[in-house]
Structure 1
Amino acid sequence: MYKYLSLLNDIENMIKSGDYRQGEKIPSIRILSKSYHCNKSTVIRALAELERKHIIYSLPKSGYYIVTSKTELIQGDKLILDFSSSSPDPAVFPYLDFQHCINQAIDIYKNDLFIYGTPRGLPSLIDVVQKQLTNYQVFAKKENIFITSGIQQALSILAIIPFPNNRETILIEQPGYHLFIESLQALQVPVLGIKRTSKGIDLFELERMFREENIKFFYTMPRYHNPLGTSYSQEEKKKILELARKYNVFIVEDDYLADFEQNSKADPIYSYDNFTHVIYLKSYSKIIFPGLRIGIAVIPDSLIKIFSQYKRILDIDSSMLSQAALEIYIKNGMFERHKEKMKATYYSRANCLISALENEQKKRNLANFSYAPVKNIAFHTYIELNEQISCEKVIHRLKDKSIIVDGVNNNYLRSFLERNSILKLNISNVEKEYIEEGISEIVKQIY
């Protein structure tokens, strides 16, 4: 790794850990040069990049100072805490590393990046992804791997293509991924919902629906469900796959937060399959940045031909420049380093969120709301309000207190009536030091 990158990352990490505080002066160029055993031009390059990212600012003849945190959006004199956004924190985007990879990709591939590629994806990236997927217990052949324009494109294709079981209806967890729900309803694809709670889903009801309904595939988020934040046990995953095989139903497994898993033994449903019934999807949007628009789809042999045909018709190929840059980013070890940095950041915040909820539970009579006491979350969970409490009114009251939260109306199918009153809690854009304060105010406004 370049020396200036090491220096840049160390300063960023010290800011996030609180070693350098907002408004505080950082060590001089001379001191940093001596500490990192590098010349002053290397230090100046790192500091210039930090200044460009608005992490630090310079004062003539004085030095460099830490800028106020980007999460401290000011509304008058009030701090705005955004518990609604599930997007990654822009403050941890790997801007400089990825810029380096883009430049290197252009140097290596030149004209190849600016012409049409292949519907399946950049072959060299598929080679890298195939190896990376083994870290998630996904052992796939290269011919089964497709690079897509985010998971959303893969889902849209799967929703409209004919399947070998000759069925038409899609089964989706409720609540569920709002963009896929919007897509299904806009395309007028036959869709049914099955209720999911912190305790999972009713496997007897799942079997009934597999048996009696015309289910093409079951779309599920076994790991860190959106919006609940909960995960299925390994026993539940195996049972779901067993039922899918029994009734010839495909499973579309959305493993969009695989990179944040803390339990090394938490394998995906795909790992138990014989490569026939499970379609595995993985995203890079949460771990790197949403604008990358690169997703991975592992498609069974029986669907390769039709999936490839529809993907080619829809967009010819996904961005070759993004694919080439991602390939270099992974091969150079930058991805693993960034992943560990992101996991540590969100793990710390998630523990703070859990602790704050536990403290509120001890302090108050929680008759008005409950929450799932989940120990292993990525960066989001939820609290469920008593049916007498208006979710909309709570959201409005919190907005007046400069705290942004959201409900889950958009996470339900219009036809699904068995809804719970839920407030989503995301901490990807809330600094650790403000989580306890925010949760305390949220609970207070519920009462």
Structure 2
Amino acid sequence: MRKYLSILADFELKMNEGQYRSGQKLPSVRDAAKLYGCSISTIIRAYTELERRHAIYSIPQSGYYIVKEGEHEVKDHSSNPCIDFASASPDLSLFPYLDFQHCLNKAIDTYKYQLFTYGDTMGLKSLRQTLVSHFAGDQVFTKAERIVITSGAHQALEILAKMPFPNGKSVILVEQPSYDHYLRFLEFEGVAVTGIARTAKGVDLQELEDKFKHGNIKFFYTMPRYHNPLGTTYSEEERRTIANLASKYNVYIVEDDYMADLGEASGFDPIYALNRTSHVVYLKSFSKIIFPGLCLGAVVLPELLLETFCAYKKYADTSQLSQAALDIYIRNGMYERHKFSISSQYASRLHALYEAVHRHAKDGDLDVPDAASGIYAQFKLKPSVNLDRLTRRLAARNVIVVPGKQFYLSNYLEREKFLRISISRVQPEQIDEGVNAIVQEIKQR
């Protein structure tokens, strides 16, 4: 299964990058099997899937060819001169429209009137059961009874901030920088919140322990991998230490793993898997891998939090139809296939970004820590750079970036000066030009 998906993703990547052009003949089944070191049946399966997606067509006794422009919807980005390093939403051209449309139709046929009534507060039972095995692939082992479907991960974060916890504590600890929309929510609601610095090198574990011990911390909100906005990932030692400190000081961890499916790293154990005392709440969103409008997330809750969480959630507020379609999408293997495709394309863009940085930023004006996977990179700037002026000048050149200051609590003073760079919506052919423009403007001071 894995080999087939990786081959399919590689074909799609080469098509999008123009290595296979309109009308071009693909390698024969036998040649492709030798190229990828696999069986002929595996190649046939990949070609059949590409044909089903109307990306290629076959001619008997001749072979497979790329569908010519005009014979299907062509991706055209030339009308948009903007180089978008700001948007974190998925690339429109990568949305799995046809597959998900099929799942929506199948869901209506399967569930019929059940989809148009009030559902269970915890979410569609069949989806929660499907998520048990889905989460197990990320080393998150749980039962359907402890999974709650939410309107994206943000709804779960809001509920967790407002509800009381069994430890009787009241302060939320957040990494600095962190997810900006959640920080603004906490400040607007007047929630007791404090920060701890996280840099490309990680977090000070001794400082973290001191805060857990003396800070009246209700829970620590963290993004262990592919952090927003840094793009970096905690080491196994850091994750294991955080898990142990949670147990030692009766502090809960809210582990936001919303980017889990967009990386290529294997063998990653989340904090959830390393904690043995049920002090970790695990969050996952499906918006970044499919499309934002789906607005579905899932939270795995410790037994002691489940009843209170559901009481604060109060009622079923997520689309039954969307849940049923997602259930079918995952069970039919479409989610796994799409995950391989989108993650490989994003990995290619991230690689191109680092290559461009290596080419253009040679004078020490820009420091870019290696994020390895995901969609974010941190462009660290010298203290002398005027961030607002830099952002405006880049916008005048149609290069859109996000300044790092918005990812901090308003009263947090120890801030790094940086740009958050996202590669999810920028086109591959724009990356070098965009990085070069950033470096040029930085030199202008």
Which of the five TM-score ranges fits, normalised by the shorter chain?
0.7 to 0.9
Q: Deviations over 1:37-64 (max 9, x none)?
A: 9xxxx989948xxxxxxx9864xxxxx3
- Equivalence for 1:145: 147
2:423 equivalent to 1:439: no
Matches within 5 A, 1:382-401: 382-401=378-397
The corresponding residue for 1:121 is 123
CA drift of 1:73 comes to 4.2
Partners of 2:360 and 2:337 in 1: CA distance: 35
Match of 2:324, SS state, is helix
Matches for 1:45-444 after TM superposition, within 5 Å: 46=54, 58=70, 64=71, 67=74, 69-70=76-77, 72-74=78-80, 79-274=81-276, 276-312=278-314, 315-361=315-361, 364-366=362-364, 368-374=365-371, 376-444=372-440
Q: Deviations over 1:5-31 (max 9, x none)?
A: xxx99996564131455xx5689xxxx
Deviations, residues 211-261 of structure 1 (Å, cap 9, x unaligned): 111110000000010000000000000111111111110000000111123
1:316 Cα deviation after fit: 2.6
The farther-off stretch of 267-276 and 213-222 is: 267-276
Deviations 1:165-211 (A, max 9, x none): 00111000011001111111121111001111000111111111111
1:337 is paired with a residue of what secondary structure? helix
Separation in structure 2 between the aligned mates of residue 223 and residue 207 of structure 1, nearest angstrom: 20
SS class of match (1:117)? coil
Counterpart amino acid of 1:396? R
- Aligned residue for 1:31? none
Deviation at 1:145, TM superposition (A): 0.8
Q: Secondary structure at the match of 2:195?
A: strand
| Consecutive unaligned residues in structure 1, runs of 5 or more | 1-7, 28-35, 48-54, 59-63
**CA distance in structure 2 between the partners assigned to 1:9 and 1:257 by the alignment:** 19
**How far is the alpha carbon of 1:360 from its aligned partner?**
2.8
**CA distance in structure 2 between the aligned counterparts of 1:133 and 1:280, rounded to whole angstroms:** 10
Equivalent-residue separation in structure 2 for 1:91 and 1:259 (angstroms)? 18
Distance 1:301 1:338, change over 3 A: same
In structure 2, how many angstroms separate the alpha carbons of the residues matched to 1:250 and 1:365?
44
Give me the whole-angstrom Cα distance separating, in 2, the residues matched to 1:45 and 1:205: 52
Letter paired with 1:204: Q
1:321-380 deviations in Å (ceiling 9; x for gaps): 11000000011111111111011111111111122222234xx211x3322134x12121
Inter-partner Cα distance in structure 2 for 1:44 and 1:114: 31
Corresponding residue for 1:3?
A: none
Equivalents in 2 of 1:365, 1:140: separation in Å? 50
Distance 1:344 1:161 in 2: 39
- Alpha-carbon distance in 1 for matches of 2:157, 2:392: 34
Q: For structure 1, which segment, 105-114 or 10-19, has the greater mean C-alpha deviation from structure 2 after superposition?
A: 10-19
Q: Which residue of 1 aligns with 2:58?
A: none
Q: Give me the whole-angstrom Cα distance separating, in 2, the residues matched to 1:259 and 1:197.
A: 23
| Structure 1 residue 108 displacement after superposition | 0.5
Residue type of the alignment partner of 2:336: E
2:367 aligned counterpart, secondary structure: strand
The code of the aligned residue for 1:402 comes to: N
CA drift at 1:263: 2.0
Q: 2:391 touches 2:401 (CA, 8 Å); kept in 1?
A: yes
Aligned counterparts of 2:359 and 2:383: Cα–Cα separation in 1: 23
| Aligned-partner residue type, residue 222 of structure 1 | P
Check 1:406–1:112 CA distance in 2 against 1; reply closer, same or farther (3 A cut): same
Match of 2:34 in 1: none
Question: CA–CA distance in 2 between the matches of 1:420 and 1:45?
Answer: 45
Q: Report what 2:39 is aligned to.
A: none
Counterpart for residue 32 of structure 1: none
Change (3 A) 1:43 1:242: closer
Is contact 1:161–1:310 with CA below 8 Å preserved after alignment? yes
Unpaired runs of at least 5, structure 2: 1-7, 26-43, 56-66
* Contact kept? 1:275, 1:300, Cα under 8 Å: no
Is this contact kept in 2: 1:56–1:67, CA < 8 A? no
Q: CA RMSD in A?
A: 2.6
**Aligned in 2, Cα 1:120/1:409: closer, same or farther, shift over 3 Å?**
same
State the SS of the aligned residue for 1:369.
coil
TM-score, with normalisation over the residues of structure 2?
Answer: 0.86
Kindly indicate whether the alpha-carbon contact (under 8 Å) linking 1:281 and 1:298 is maintained by their aligned counterparts in 2.
yes
Q: Percent identity?
A: 46
Q: 1:264 to 1:179 in 2, by over 3 A?
A: same
Are the aligned partners of 1:56 and 1:66 in contact in 2 as well (CA < 8 Å)?
A: no
Matches within 5 A, 1:25-44: none
Counterpart residue type for residue 269 of structure 1: I
Distance 1:123 1:275, change over 3 A: farther
In structure 1, C-alpha distance between the alignment counterparts of 2:413 and 2:332, rounded to whole Å:
49
Q: Distance in 2 between matches of 1:303 and 1:65?
A: 50
Letter in 2 for 1:388: S
Contact map agreement 1:168 1:215 (CA 8 A) in 2: yes
C-alpha separation in 2, matches of 1:336 and 1:186: 38
For the residue of structure 1 that corresponds to 2:268, the secondary structure is: coil
Change (3 A) 1:305 1:437: same
**Counterpart residue type for residue 153 of structure 1:** Q
Tell me the distance in 2 between the aligned counterparts of 1:45 and 1:241.
Answer: 44
In structure 2, relative to structure 1, the CA distance for the partners of 1:416 and 1:9 (3 Å cut) is: closer
